[in-house]
Chains A and B, each alone.
Chain A
């Protein structure tokens, strides 16, 4: 997952004015946050609100006695949203602040800093004499703070490594957590019993509460893992192992927690209960996944119809996922697994259906929410620590901490021995160490402990203290030291994520190869089932869930398309720098973006007003610089449509233009275009006109053909001039978003090895015959350059304006 931390501040030691301002702002927010909420009466439902402070009529400070209160202060009215916003603001400003401090983000992970801030804020509140709000109230935590983080994780879960390592992950998650729970719980009980020094309190501790405690504390926490692992950038395998484990152990935790909580009252657990527990585990996990998958499919199906209302597309993703979570929680199934399943299931289909903008929106919203959530969680952890109530018991706490570490190490090592027998790529000792060391506990454990009722569990406070200590230990000590340790042990880091088209092709090829070999060996392995699933997916599922043409699009094309988009976006963003990478004249994207019907004129019109003078100049610069070598004269190009907003739907045209430009540049070098090319059969004017009329407006004739070029009266298209000699002209065809004509393009490339007619940027030299004066167009000097194409068939189009018409069909 991409790091949520911002870039480090470039400033050095001295604090400049903006930073001082920021610091001041932080302090103000802190003060405000702690002092203001004092005024209001506590709201009746503690379940929802964070700050339920008792009142001092704080408002009285600001009252001015007037006959008629022109200005009034009514804090109570807006108290809750105000306080929520204040907390969120505090969290965000803190985040900002940390990255301004030089060097600190490198040493201390963000989670530690945030907990410290939470401690500070809690301390401030306490100092002010107020009751600290129960911020880590379980309702709030599980219903509001946790889902965004998990959804973010699930939606962007790298499916391939996850599935490849699923067996290992499940082993760690299920067996590892069970082992941890029983080991810690059991040994704690034993220690408590034999502890002679404090006979009073520890002896009271029954086995079942101990086991309950063990199950709470044993689960690796996804929030903490994410927060730390994001900063250390280890290789994908380890990341997915630890992270996957933290996600999947939720089911185990849920079952164990409920089991022990239920039966703590009863006092005993029978074999039957144990058996029921196992069944319950299967129900919880599989049920959660099922619920998530159902909602995921619903979301994918809904997204199929959103082509006319693009703006609410992201909403579907969020709402369906949240409902999946809530539905799972309703049945006491594993909400986390539901959320992961929902995100993972819906993603491939939704992404094929939604627009590029929606995709970006979803991505950034998810990142934003999860980032804020995470920050808030850590701050609240700090605040809740200050709050207490604490009951410190040296034995209990230290034994817990030690046992956590020991059991984790034993668990990982033991399981790896078993797992390595089944793995192709074995886990080395270094890997095992990182997995063991990365098992951090976090806020989930705390909230689960918080949920315990005092009446049933008299040792609740002791539990909470111990939990907090373990959390602090793992986050601070392990979190801070893992980075140097990773460096020290030279653990493989995450590799550059850029995948090349070659890798994609060859990976698919190898998949097929291995499937074939497995079939030859008669061995129904990994590849076999994956292949079967892919076939099923392609045949049935994709047809239902993906709108229109995209359903048939093979993965490779989608990937290629994505790559081209990315490259073109970079090109445009960088101002189209001179060193353009060679790219293929790609017409692929055209077909994949638009449905087969003629595209609406809307995207074009939208593009028109956006073109500013400066942009225009920029574009011309680009064109000129890139085509200098070919000595083309910029005769005409459709400046209004050349560079649209790259994120516009009509972006595909831009893509093609750029690529054509580049390819042309390359090809022109090999071309002998001083025209000794034999004439090719002319395009029939009718065909040309037909093409234009159909709204595609590309006039795509190979240069070697004598064109009876039509200047189409159709304002929505533009035609290129017919050429008598075949000169390579670079046609900016900004027009056609989709052209099966592109088919011909390649053929023409092949046929005409001496020239090419590019549909794309049309920089045509001015024709000798018709004086087309493009206002403000590029130089018109060399009229007689062989690059021109003359009208072979003057026809009706002789004095019509041509492709300079700034229209996109």
Chain B
């Protein structure tokens, strides 16, 4: 671990990050390498264009949403710490160390994962997925292959199924309820190979 700890030194707040996110040193290192790779002008921060340079991401229908999720509202750049914090949502839940009640919920808990996904739908951050927002998501995912009324039908149906309090929008709790059968731990985790 000697070389690792020395390389860790160049990463600001490495220890705190590890503590907060639960990543191991190896993971942090690898993420840092990736961060530096993306950061073409070596500013120590990433901008949307840097993300845009990833080719496969531009082909992804919800690529822009993912990119914008990294940037907190109002900020133009993302530093390494925020980068890691966002990615911490996707750690596998099994490797959680036991925590006491005082610690905040870890980033990769099921609720936090769902919250992250929810926020990708809910662009205007009002805590609800409105019909329009759902339609937008469907539109981008379907990539112009369906007609407008098909989308409307699907959106209508989805809202009807999920909307329990009849406010014509999906709140986070309703979202969570509709996903209770889905194995989120599996579906929203990636293996960060070190």
- Among residues of B, the one whose C-beta sits closest to the C-beta of A502 is B178
Contact with A along B69-92 (1 / 0, CB 8 A): 000000000000000000100101
Contacts of A782 in B (CB 8 A): none
* A506 touching B182, Cβ below 8 Å: yes
Interface size on A, residues (CB 8 A): 55
Contact with A along B54-74 (1 / 0, CB 8 A): 101101111100100000000
Contacts of B56 in A (CB 8 A): 515, 519, 528, 531
* A584 touching B156, Cβ below 8 Å: yes
Contact with A along B151-189 (1 / 0, CB 8 A): 011101110111000000000000100110111011111
Interface residues of A in 420-438 (CB under 8 A from B): 422, 424-426
A560 to B178, CA, bound (A): 16
Interface size on B, residues (CB 8 A): 57
Contacts of B156 in A (CB 8 A): 584
Contact residue among A519, A557, A588 (Cβ-Cβ distance under 8 Å from B57)? A519
Contacts of A556 in B (CB 8 A): 138, 141-142, 154
Q: Does B99 contact A (CB under 8 A)?
A: no
- Among residues of B, the one whose C-beta sits closest to the C-beta of A503 is B182
- Among residues of B, the one whose C-beta sits closest to the C-beta of A745 is B149
Contacts of A500 in B (CB 8 A): 161-162, 178
A521 to B121, CA, bound (A): 22
Interface of A, helix, strand, loop or mixed by DSSP: helix
Query: Are A583 and B157 also in contact (CB < 8 A) when A509-B62, A514-B190, A554-B145 are?
Result: yes
* A588 touching B37, Cβ below 8 Å: no
Contact residue among B37, B94, B138 (Cβ-Cβ distance under 8 Å from A505)? B138
Q: Does A309 contact B (CB under 8 A)?
A: no
* A506 touching B157, Cβ below 8 Å: no
* A591 touching B60, Cβ below 8 Å: no
Contacts of A502 in B (CB 8 A): 158, 161-162, 178-179
Q: Does A360 contact B (CB under 8 A)?
A: no
Contacts of A746 in B (CB 8 A): 148-149, 152-153
Interface residues of A in 430-470 (CB under 8 A from B): none
A587 to B154, CA, bound (A): 10
Q: Does A262 contact B (CB under 8 A)?
A: no
Q: Does A25 contact B (CB under 8 A)?
A: no
Query: Are A585 and B158 also in contact (CB < 8 A) when A502-B178, A513-B117, A554-B142 are?
Result: no
Query: Are A523 and B157 also in contact (CB < 8 A) when A512-B61, A513-B120 are?
Result: no
Q: Does B150 contact A (CB under 8 A)?
A: yes
* B147 touching A591, Cβ below 8 Å: yes
Contact with B along A20-62 (1 / 0, CB 8 A): 0000000000000000000000000000000000000000000
Minimum CB–CB distance for B130 against chain A, Å: 15
Interface residues of A in 584-611 (CB under 8 A from B): 584-588, 591
Q: Does A686 contact B (CB under 8 A)?
A: no
* B190 touching A508, Cβ below 8 Å: no
* B149 touching A503, Cβ below 8 Å: no
Contact residue among A425, A515, A587, A742 (Cβ-Cβ distance under 8 Å from B186)? A425
* B189 touching A424, Cβ below 8 Å: yes
Minimum CB–CB distance for A611 against chain B, Å: 28
A557 to B143, CA, bound (A): 12
A36 to B127, CA, bound (A): 77
Q: Does A518 contact B (CB under 8 A)?
A: yes
* A522 touching B57, Cβ below 8 Å: no
Contacts of B183 in A (CB 8 A): 425
Query: Are A503 and B181 also in contact (CB < 8 A) when A513-B62, A553-B145, A587-B150 are?
Result: yes
Tell me the B residues contacting A by CB distance below 8 Å. 31, 34, 37-38, 51, 54, 56-57, 59-63, 66, 87, 90, 92, 94, 117, 120-121, 134, 137-138, 141-143, 145-150, 152-154, 156-158, 160-162, 175, 178-179, 181-183, 185-193
Tell me the A residues contacting B by CB distance below 8 Å. 164, 422, 424-426, 495-496, 500-503, 505-523, 525-528, 531, 535, 552-554, 556-557, 560, 582-588, 591, 740, 742-743, 745-746
A506-B178, A515-B60 are known; give 14 further A-B pairs, CB within 8 A: A422-B191, A424-B191, A500-B161, A502-B158, A506-B182, A509-B141, A510-B117, A513-B120, A516-B63, A535-B59, A554-B143, A560-B154, A586-B157, A588-B150
A-B interface, 9 closest residue pairs, ranked by CB to CB distance from nearest: A584-B156, A746-B149, A502-B178, A516-B66, A519-B56, A588-B150, A584-B153, A516-B60, A586-B153
Interchain residue pairs with CB less than 8 A apart (21)? A422-B191, A424-B185, A500-B162, A505-B158, A506-B182, A509-B62, A513-B117, A514-B188, A516-B60, A517-B66, A517-B190, A519-B60, A520-B34, A520-B87, A531-B56, A554-B143, A583-B157, A584-B153, A584-B156, A586-B157, A746-B149
